[in-house]
A and B are shown apart, each in its own frame.
Chain A
């Protein structure tokens, strides 16, 4: 019983990182129509920021090991990923949609390569280890500290959800949606399209960075392997299946797809003999890909479609 419970807790904690990323993507892609394919990059920036600021001092790095409180690491992760979003946004947001996708994809790959090669800061492929986890030094039992971590995740998700809901239902969110619907008309009606896109981009990237930081302080070990493009694809599938333009949809989609991903993993391990399990792991990508295609064919607006914004 406790096994199932601790599995569920672990499942939802990891799921939280996807939920938060999916919420961050929703403000960019769902509401503003910006095709940011660099989610893994901003997630990585947040993860490394928190790891460097909160982590221990390693013998082989020249920068880091500040041992700061975790909360400070997370706040800085939001700020640093937000700044990364600002810099990337300044150079890419004037591009047409497809070019924005290609350039953000390239930037995310570059960031991953930087993490792999700047060994004096990131320890390259060896990664940063022994990162602090909240409450881990108070409770010996990993079960209890995981329960605490899940509560933190729920609190953070709730805060982000309500902040975003308020933002997208505001005049600010209305401008974002008008840009998504018709950029030329929005500009003709007095909106500085570039500035709004930049704001939405920075906000989304900051949220993705927070997800990365929370990931780093949960698994306590990060390496460039954690930030591959598959992460970006997963988050897109979650948002599209859940319902882009709907924050609740972003959450539901993340839970559904992460459940499917985890279940297909167990199923493959159960069916396939150990010799072929590495190869069979690719089946998960096929399964999730099929779900995406079926969804796009039969219900392209997602499980929870965008709601009409009606007012009195």
Chain B
């Protein structure tokens, strides 16, 4: 579904990602783990078009998406959340969701003056969907609250909700468990599972190994900009190279 070939990203001489290749199979949940600075978020940014790769290519459903802008990648069915949540703070929780669906009739300013009823019908449909999702995410009590007033964990759910509004094929989650209390974590894991059952593919950056072990069918371990290893969660967990990567041993020394 998603395949990345020989991806390189250099920032002013600093190599954030070097010669990265991997694939994500459809309808799987893939974990992307690795120490801070391994290049995980940069990889996300390249897939979604927020950062242009220096070299290499990215394909999604057989289509080259290497140089697409973020809004173009979105319309192909790729949607992401952010490590530090980016809510539209001055807008309500409901609006955060209703703004998402693409190609709304009312997004053309003229239609709001000339074809009002069509816009309103569509808006009702979108709002119904947003209400259903908020229900699903246990956020319905907050739908008219400014999203800027939500707690960190609620924002993670809000971002998940925004992602779901677009009926995506692939969801990239950047640390969905960061700063989330154990109860809410349980809920997030449960929601991801449910969404996955409906056929959505996930690629998840996460430091919380509990979430990775419970959700992911395969795990990619990144270190120093490249893939250190990949395999099932069980294989990864018992591999000594994982400890090395996290505890600061460089990849080359860990091979000896």
Task: Kindly state whether residue A284 has any CB partner on chain B within 8 Å.
Answer: no
Q: A308 is contacted by which of B86, B107, B116, B144 (Cβ under 8 Å)?
A: B144
Chain B 92-121 against A: per-residue CB contact (8 Å), 1 yes, 0 no?
A: 101100111010111111001100100100
Task: Kindly state whether residue A185 has any CB partner on chain B within 8 Å.
Answer: yes
Contact in complex: A308, B113 (CB < 8 Å):
no
Binds A, one of B3-11, B28-36, B68-76, B243-251: B68-76
Task: Kindly state whether residue A7 has any CB partner on chain B within 8 Å.
Answer: no
Inter-chain contact total with CB atoms closer than 8 Å: 103
| Shortest beta-carbon distance from A291 to chain B in Å | 25
Report chain B residues within 8 Å CB of A312.
127
| Shortest beta-carbon distance from A312 to chain B in Å | 8
Contact in complex: B112, A172 (CB < 8 Å):
yes
Contact in complex: B92, A308 (CB < 8 Å):
yes
Contact in complex: A203, B86 (CB < 8 Å):
no
Interface residues of A in 141-170 (CB under 8 A from B): 163, 166-167, 170
Chain A 175-212 against B: per-residue CB contact (8 Å), 1 yes, 0 no?
A: 10110111011111111110000010001000000000
Contact in complex: B90, A177 (CB < 8 Å):
yes
Contact in complex: B100, A187 (CB < 8 Å):
no
Contact in complex: A306, B127 (CB < 8 Å):
no
Contact A166-B113, Cβ < 8 Å, known A185-B82, A188-B70: yes
Contact in complex: B104, A171 (CB < 8 Å):
yes
Report chain B residues within 8 Å CB of A203.
109
Contact A187-B71, Cβ < 8 Å, known A163-B113, A311-B127: yes
Contact in complex: A172, B89 (CB < 8 Å):
no
Report chain A residues within 8 Å CB of B144.
308, 310
Majority-rule SS of A interface residues: helix
Task: Compute how far the CA of A21 lies from the CA of B15 in the bound complex, rounded to whole angstroms.
Answer: 49
Contact in complex: A182, B88 (CB < 8 Å):
yes
Contact in complex: B106, A178 (CB < 8 Å):
no
Task: Compute how far the CA of A180 lies from the CA of B95 in the bound complex, rounded to whole angstroms.
Answer: 14
Q: B70 is contacted by which of A167, A187, A306, A311 (Cβ under 8 Å)?
A: A187
Task: Compute how far the CA of A191 lies from the CA of B88 in the bound complex, rounded to whole angstroms.
Answer: 14
The winner among B80, B98, B99, B112 for most chain A CB atoms within 10 A is: B99
Chain A 270-312 against B: per-residue CB contact (8 Å), 1 yes, 0 no?
A: 0000000000000000000000000000000000001011111
The 10 A-B pairs of least Cβ separation, nearest first, read A171-B106, A190-B74, A181-B88, A170-B112, A185-B86, A187-B70, A171-B104, A190-B102, A172-B109, A178-B88
